[in-house]
Amino acid sequence: MTSHDAPGTALVTGASSGIGWEYATRLAGRGRSLVLVARRAERLEALARDLRADGVTGVETLVADLADPDDLARVAERVSGDDVDLLVNNAGINGYGPFAEADATLLDRVLRVNVVALTALTRAAVPGMLARGRGAVINVASLLAFAGDLPPDPLPRRAVYAGTKGYAVTLTRTLAAELAGTPVRLQVVCPGLTATEFHLGAGATPVSGERRTHDEGGMPPEDVVTASLAALETGEVVCVPGLTDPDAVSQLASAELEVRRGSGGRAAERYRRGAA
């Protein structure tokens, strides 16, 4: 059993459905205590009841809207506790829609949940993990982080959402390099379309009612979590659950290195020709 499988407390955001629900269930099965965070109290209590019925004793629920600064502060305080050695930043909202027509308040919420909360909770968790000599952070991003200029249809109109997930990828990779050689592991998991309720709303308000799955289908969340937890133990910083050839991630890093060669002291010749 590795240090990251050893029983400890995992705090999981967005635990009221989909991938977050599956992380909670799987980690409880590995003997972990849990802090479950989401906006929907009734969903959290339902999950807690199910886990307790299965004999899980250490289950705590924390109802919070991570777009709210006061709620975020409460969760940050909890994740900084001495017992938490795994943080799963799973909460996220999509705000899909044409950028010029999207509600500015909704886009602000997307940034607060997907970027500000993820950063704040990671910052709250990591110092204690370093001091205690154990810990891990899993950030749930999306393959849309790599969608770039691919046109919508069938992809969603996603400029802000994809940007936030690109941030999650870059933050995780960069922080993993910074913390290399320490006992704290970082991972960003980038699923494609997943069979959850994520596409049933844009995120301004929670999806109401019982848990369900959007019509688009996709990979089962169980497979996403299986891949993530396996990759955490093998040290894969970027986990793409459906990617058969992991060399694609290395090729991406090589391509980035080529782009960074543009940090020379003068503008490239093609630009200087145009300015003449």
**Angle at the Cα of 182 from the Cα atoms of 14 and 257, rounded to 5 degrees:** 80
167 falls within a domain? yes
Verify whether residue 96 is a known catalytic residue.
Answer: no
273, containing H or E segment? helix 269-275
272 falls within a domain? no
Confidence tier at 4 by pLDDT (50, 70, 90): very low
185 falls within a domain? yes
Confidence tier at 3 by pLDDT (50, 70, 90): very low
pLDDT above 90: percentage of residues in the chain: 85
Mean local confidence (pLDDT), 241-249: 95
> What average pLDDT is seen over the chain?
92
- How far is Cα 203 from Cα 200, in angstroms, rounded to an integer? 9
pLDDT at 2 over 50: no
Neighbours of 216 (CB within 10 A): 13
170 falls within a domain? yes
- Tell me, what CATH number does 109's domain have? 3.40.50.720
pLDDT digits (tens, 9 = 90+) for 9-43: 999 999 999 999 999 999 999 999 999 999 999 99
Catalytic residue chosen out of the listed positions 23, 161, 167, 271: 161
pLDDT at 7 over 80: no
Count how many domains the chain has.
1
**Angle at the Cα of 130 from the Cα atoms of 129 and 136, rounded to 5 degrees:** 45
pLDDT digits (tens, 9 = 90+) for 61-117: 999 999 999 999 999 999 999 999 999 999 999 999 999 999 999 999 999 999 999
267 falls within a domain? no
271 falls within a domain? no
Per the structure, the complete domain to which residue 232 belongs is given by 9-245
Q: Looking at mean pLDDT, say which of 4-8, 19-23, 246-250 comes out highest.
A: 19-23
Decide if 173 contacts 238 (C-beta within 8 A): yes
255 falls within a domain? no
263 falls within a domain? no
pLDDT digits (tens, 9 = 90+) for 135-176: 999 999 999 999 999 999 989 999 999 999 999 999 999 999
pLDDT at 229 over 50: yes
Residues whose CB falls within 8 Å of the CB of residue 37, separated by 6 or more in sequence, listed in order: 11, 12, 13, 14, 15, 62, 63, 64, 66, 75, 91
